Amino acid sequence: MWGGRFAEGPSSIMREINASIPFDKALWRQDIRASKAHVAMLGAQGIVAPEDAATISAGLDQVAAEYAQNGVPENWDLEDIHMTTESRLAELVGPVAGRLHTARSRNDQVATDFRLWVRDAVDEALAGLNALQKALVQRAGEHVNTILPGFTHLQTAQPVVLGHHLLAYYEMAARDVSRFADARARMNQCPLGSAALAGTGFPIDRFATASALDFDRPTDNSLDSVSDRDFALDYLMAAAQCALHLSRLAEEFIIWASQPFGFVTLPDSLSTGSSIMPQKKNPDAAELVRGHAGRIIGALTSLMITMKGLPLAYSKDMQDDKPPVFEAAGLLTLCLAAMTGMVEGAYFRQDRMRAAAELGYATATDLADWLVRQANIPFREAHHITGAAVKLAERKGVALDQLSLEELQAIDSRIDERVFPALSVEASVASRASHGGTAPVQVAQRVAQARAALGLVG
Ligand code: ARG
C-alpha cells in the first residue's frame, strides 16, 4: 500500500509484529458497514462518481458474502482487516477500489469500526443483564417468605428472607445496566471523517455518515477522535464491575452448595462430576465465573496501561486495544448466561436455610430491640443484657427462646413472657419493615416494582 516510499519490503519479524488480522478480523462486519456508509457519502457529495460508488458498494457486499461463507483470510502482508478488505475489493472490482480510501485513513476507520463493535457489545451485555434481572426477580418473588440467616463477616447476623438476598443482586445488575447505558450514550458519536488526524480537505458530510451508522452525531475534534479509546475503557469499566458482581453471586452459590451449608442444589446442567469421587457434584460454572471476573478486570487494566501516556494522535500501541476488549466481551456474555441459568435452575433448600437461621442466635438483636421498646432500656444497656442471655444459652447449648422466663428474669427482671414471640425468626424479619428492609411486605413490594420496571406482567 505504500510501495512508492519504500525501497525494500518488511522483514518477517516486522510483518509478524505488525499484523493485527489474526484478531481484528472480528471487526469485518463493522468494517464493511462503515466503508459502505463512507462510499455512499463520497458518491452523494460528488467526491467519487456515483457509478464508481455503486460499483464499490456492490463489491463490498460481495466481499462480505465471501467472509460470511469462508471466513476472513489471514495474510500478514495485508496487516489488518482494513487492508485485507480493500485488497480483496480491488481484486473484485479493479482499480476503482482505490477511490474508497478518499478522505479517510485507517486511523478514523479503525476508530469507527471498533466503536461500532463495542456498541454492539454493550447491547449484548444489556440483553444479558436483562435476562439475569428477570431470573432474579422471578426467584425473589417465589421466596418472599423463605427465611435464611443473613451474614456479616460470614457469621450469622440476623435472619433475612431469600427474596431480599436475591434482590440485592438485582440492584447490582440495575446499576450495571445504568453504567452500560451511560457508556453507550457517551460513545455514540462517529469519528469517521477525522481522517489521519487533522480532518480532510474533501467536502465530506460527516453528519451523513454518522447517521448512516446510527450514531447521534460526528465527534468534534479530529485529533481526539483518532486517539480516543475511552469508549472501550468505559465498556471495560462497566464489564469489570458487572463481572465483579457476578463473581460475588457465584461465590454465594459456591458456599451455599457446599455440604455444611446445603442451602442450594445447583442445576446438573451447570455442574460437573469428579473422575475419581463418585459422590461429587462440583459448582464449576460458578467457580469459572468467579475466575473469569479476574480476567475481565485484567482486560480493563491492560487497556488502561496501553493508553496511559500516549501523546496525540494515533500510535501503533493502540492496535493492542482490541484483544482485551474481545476477550472480556466473550467472557462477560458467558458469565451472564451461566449465572442466569444458575439462578433460574437453583433448587433452594428452605428447610436447611430455616434450620441455619435458628442457629447462631440470629435473633439476639430482636431481644435487645424488645428491651428498648417494651422496657424503655437504652440500646447500649439492652445490648449488654442480651449478651448475657446469649452467653447463658450458649453455655446450656440451647436457642435464646429456649431459655426459661426465670432464667431470663435472673439476667434482667424487666423481661416478661411477651418477649418469646419476638424471638422467632418470622417475627424478626417481619419487624424489619423500614424502607429497603427484609420484611416480607417490603420485599414483595420491591419485587412488584422490579417486575414493573422489567415490563413483566402481573
Ligand atoms: N490495524 C491498525 C489498528 O488496529 C489500524 C490503524 C493503522 N494506522 C496506521 N497509521 N498504521 O490500530
Distance from the alpha carbon of residue 213 to the mean position of ligand 1, in angstroms: 21
Residue 280 has pLDDT above 90, yes or no: no
Q: Is the pLDDT of residue 458 over 70?
A: no
Q: pTM score > 0.85 for this model?
A: yes
Tell me which residue of 458, 444, 453 sits closest to 141, measured CA to CA: 444
Domains and CATH numbers, the chain: 12-102 (1.10.275.10), 107-143+161-205+214-348 (1.20.200.10), 359-448 (1.10.40.30)
Dihedral sign (CA 98, 103, 105, 107): negative
Closest CA to 100 of 64, 54, 68: 54
Q: What is the pLDDT of residue 278?
A: 81
Atom 2, ligand 1: residue with shortest CA distance: 319
Q: Is pLDDT of 1 > 90?
A: no
Residue 210: closest CA among 50, 34, 29, 27: 34
Contact (Cβ atoms closer than 8 angstroms) between residue 71 and residue 14: no
Q: Mean per-residue pLDDT for 135-153? A: 98
Per the structure block, which three cell numbers stand in for 390?
A: 446469649
The CA 27 to ligand 1 mean position distance, Å, reads: 13
pLDDT for residue 275 is more than 90: no
| 273 pLDDT tier (thresholds 50, 70, 90) | confident
Q: Is the CB of 107 under 6 A from ligand 1?
A: yes
Strand ranges in 96-241 using DSSP code E only, listed in sequence order: 147-152, 155-161, 189-190, 217-218
Q: Is 101 in the pocket of ligand 1 (CB under 6 A)?
A: no
- Contacts of 50 by beta carbon, 8 Å cutoff, 6+ apart: 43, 44
- Overall average pLDDT of the 310-324 stretch: 98
Separation of CA 48 and ligand 1 centre (Å): 24
| pLDDT tens profile 27-77 | 999 999 999 999 999 999 999 999 999 999 999 999 999 999 999 999 999
224 alpha carbon – ligand 1 mean position (Å): 15
Which DSSP letter does residue 310 get? P
Say how many Å lie between the CA of residue 1 and the centre of ligand 1: 13
Using the predicted structure, report yes or no on whether residue 454 has a pLDDT greater than 80: yes
- Any idea which residues carry the catalytic annotation? 153, 274
Lowest mean pLDDT among 10-19, 100-109, 140-149, 441-450: 10-19
pLDDT of residue 399: 87
Task: Kindly state if the Cβ of 234 falls inside 6 Å of ligand 1.
Answer: no
Q: What is the mean pLDDT of residues 164-192?
A: 98
314 Cβ below 6 A of ligand 1 = yes
Cα separation, 309 vs 306, in Å, equals: 8
Protein residue with its CA nearest to atom 4 in ligand 1: 319
Segment 211-231 shows an average pLDDT of: 98
pLDDT of residue 281: 85
Mean pLDDT over each residue of the chain, to the nearest integer:
96
**Sole residue written with cell 463477616:** 153
Mention every residue, 6+ apart, whose C-beta is less than 8 A from residue 98. Answer: 90
Q: Is it the case that residue 2 has pLDDT exceeding 80?
A: no
Quick: pLDDT tens for 342-393: 999 999 999 999 999 998 898 999 999 999 999 999 999 999 999 999 999 9
Which of ligand 1's atoms lies nearest the C-alpha of 20?
Answer: 1
Cell of 111: 476508530
Q: Measured from the CB, is residue 369 less than 6 Å from ligand 1?
A: no
The answer to whether the CB of 227 falls within 8 A of the CB of 195 is: no
Mutate to test the pocket of ligand 1, among 31, 107, 112 (most ligand atoms within 8 A of CB): 107
Instruction: Identify which of 24, 74, 194, 316 to mutate to test ligand 1's pocket (most ligand atoms within 8 A of the CB).
Output: 316
**What is the percentage of the chain residues whose pLDDT exceeds 70?**
100
* Residue having the nearest C-alpha atom to atom 7 of ligand 1: 106
Q: What is the pLDDT of residue 95?
A: 98
Given a cut of 70, whether residue 424 has pLDDT beyond it is yes
**Chain segment 232-243, per-residue pLDDT in tens:** 999 999 999 999
User: What residue owns the CA closest to ligand 1's atom 10?
Assistant: 107
Q: Ligand 1 in contact with 80 (CB < 6 A)?
A: yes
Identify the pLDDT of residue 93. Answer: 98
- Enumerate residues 6+ apart whose C-beta is below 8 A from 443: 140, 144, 161, 163, 164, 167
Is 225 a residue whose pLDDT tops 90?
yes
